Amino acid sequence: MHQTLSLIPALPLAGFLILSLLGRRLPNRLVALIGAGVISAAAIIAIWLGISFLQAPPDSGAYSVELWRWMSVANFNCSFSLHVDALSLVFVFVITFVGALIHIYSAGFMKHDRDYARFFASMNLFVCAMLLLVMADNLVLLYLGWEGVGLCSYLLIGFWYETTANVQAANKAFYITRVGDTAMAIGFFLLFRELGTLDIPAIQKLAPEHFTSGSPIITAIALLLLAGGMGKSAQVPLQTWLPDAMAGPSPVSALIHAATMVTAGVYLVARMHVLFQLSPLVMSITAVIGALTLFIAGCSAMVQTDIKRILAYSTISQVGYMFLALGVGAWSAGVFHFFTHAFFKALLFLAAGAVIESLHHEHGIFKMGGLKNKMPLVFYTFLAGAAALAALPLITAGFFSKDQVLWYALSANGGNPLLWIVALLGAFITAFYTTRLMLVVFWGTEKTHVGELPGRLMTLPLVILAILSICAGFIEWPHNMLHITLFSDLVQKVLPPVVEAEPVPSEALFQLIAVVATFSGVFVGYLLYRKNTSIIESWKQTPAMVWLRDFFYTGWKFDELYNILFVRPFVFITQLNKQDVIDKIYAGIVSLFQRLNGIFSVSQDGSVRTYVIGVLIGIIFILALQLIL
């Protein structure tokens, strides 16, 4: 068991090593076979592990294995150990399973790219790092995985590095997540200073004894960890990198910027829930940030014209739901939403990639249209994903998870009506922009000629993900419907159950309101983009609406704000210091030694006379030294 545990991250690592060292010499077929094969093998092991975990849960609640001692300095011990409990298991399953499907899809999607091996090598490394992140037994190893996924994200966003914009997008993602990473590292340092350990089980045991609830230090630590999670998970105000990150290939967006990496923040908060529970203030902040994010990003998603940017803003918004759930204390609801979201959002990105590829790299949705009959398979799978995203009741996975989040935003101990209203508004917006996307892309008249249709390698993952987008929710039903709570039973081995506020309002009523909101979103979308398109035309003449559209389109002007707040002052300072004052010191040292070299070289004039004088001076020097002493 222990050895198989280490195989899960080791296989992708092996794939990375083989592909990065030999990739250029291998035929494409073999590259794909290795790249997708190792992930599939890891997925099979993970599933097998999951089954045995469910059948006979280990006594300690987790499988763990210490591979080797990493470092041991004074009283700081850090081992390279893996620890898989129910929470990690969910993440490991999603990473390997969805990862494997995306790798298979990529084998078809990237087949014309000349850097085929580099793509698979980076993807494999990403999976390895992501697995380390969720399987880490201590925060140092988690940090290794955390930085590893950041690196791979950077490499893959800038995968087509010949275009400057792609490189800039990669840089932007790297810088902005770095803000969060730095905060998180400081949080780790504080935690180590307080508890003297970075082992996650030890922290979970020690923290409640060591910290008093709501003390400034625990608030600071939790806040710093939250900042780290916000950076990786693109939460307001660190969300601006994700829409630009769509510069990478579509499978990258599906794997990294939808299914896995952007949910690392969710994992971190859930994993460190003990610390967050000790600070009610930070819990509320988490919930508020989640709510704000889901609303801000949802608004932006309504007006985007690039199919991938719509999905990117939608991702930010959905991760906002997860943060909201975590913030109100509905831990399992947050993780459940991650679980379903991974399927339908990966599906949407992959299907969007197929559309883009068939339309000769066309990203604009208004240049698409009429694809319903031209690409039926992509249409039906996309429809399944969109329905899940819009959370159509009872028939989609998205409904089951989002319903929980909405319900707990109101009824959980940390929830309140305001959060619920924002979340409800978000549900409406989500349904609206999803409908808009579907109608514009798949209905109407054909505007761009459809080229090559996706092959079987690409459609198979779409179908599997579509099935999961529909069915994955059936393992967890709302309390008032069926009593099936498989998912929360599993993760509540690790995460505390929700504490509901008293008195509990009637759940069915609020469910009905949510359903109404969803359907009205769909209806408004239908009204504006299918039934009566003249309304939009009239809005285009109204200055206020145009301004609002522009405001949403540019992501609430966050980029401009940061430009004024950070970029321009920085550029100003660098301009002031154009001469580089600090460098003067080093220039001084250099010229000092050059001069010394000149002085010393005088003695090397080549005449024996001087050399003899040198020897004599030496003798006098030695004798004088002896006499003095």
Closest distance to other proteins from the beta carbon of 625 (Å):
6
Tell me the window of 239-247, 264-272, 480-488, 615-623 that interacts with other proteins (CB under 8 A). 615-623
Query: Binding to other proteins (CB under 8 A): which residues in 575-614?
Result: 593-594, 596-597, 600-601, 603-604, 606, 608, 610-612, 614
Give the bridge partners for 136, in sequence order: 82
At its nearest, how many Å lie between other proteins and the CB of residue 585? 15
Cα-based angle 214, 201, 284 (whole degrees, multiple of 5): 30
Which DSSP string do the residues of 130-177 spell out, in sequence order?
HHHHHHBSBHHHHHHHHHHHHHHHHHHHTSSTTSHHHHHHHHHHHHHH
Residues 514-533 close enough to bind other proteins by CB under 8 A: none
Compare residues 544 and 602 and give the one whose CB is closer to other proteins.
602
Q: Tokens 């400081």 belong to which residue?
A: 186
- Using the rule CB under 8 A, is 625 a contact of other proteins? yes
CB closer to other proteins, 3 vs 604: 604
Nearer to other proteins, 48 or 611 (CB): 611
d(CA 232, CA 271): 15
Shortest distance, position 600 Cβ to other proteins, whole Å = 5
Note whether 505 and 410 are within 8 A (CB): yes
Spatial contact of 199 and 272, defined as CB atoms under 8 Å apart: no
Q: Is there binding between residue 622 and other proteins (CB under 8 A)? A: yes
- d(CA 324, CA 285) in angstroms, rounded, equals 9
Give how many residues touch other proteins by CB under 8 A. 25
Minimum Å distance from CB 427 to other proteins? 58
Separation in Å, CA 67 to CA 78, 208, 231, 262, 373: 11, 29, 30, 28, 54
Residue 219: closest CA among 196, 182, 194? 194
* 561 vs 619, beta carbon nearer other proteins: 619
Token pair belonging to 574: 């660098």
The nearer residue to other proteins, 175 or 586, going by C-beta atoms, is: 586
Q: Where are the alpha helices (DSSP H) in 272-415?
A: 273-277, 280-303, 307-327, 331-358, 371-374, 376-390, 397-411
Nearer to other proteins, 576 or 599 (CB): 599
Q: Find the shortest distance in angstroms from Cβ 161 to other proteins.
A: 24
In the complex, minimum distance from the CB of residue 612 to other proteins, in angstroms, rounded to a whole number? 6
Closer CB to other proteins, 497 or 588, in the complex: 588
Q: Do 338 and 290 touch, CB atoms closer than 8 A?
A: no
Buried b (16+ CB within 10 A) or exposed e, 44-70: ebbeebbeebeeeeeeeebbbbebeee
- Rounded to a whole number of angstroms, the minimum distance from the CB of residue 592 to other proteins is 10
Taking the complex as a whole, how short is the minimal distance between the CB of residue 582 and other proteins, in angstroms?
A: 18
CB nearer to other proteins: give 161 or 600.
600
Binding site for other proteins (CB under 8 A): 593-594, 596-597, 600-601, 603-604, 606, 608, 610-612, 614-615, 617-619, 621-623, 625-627, 629
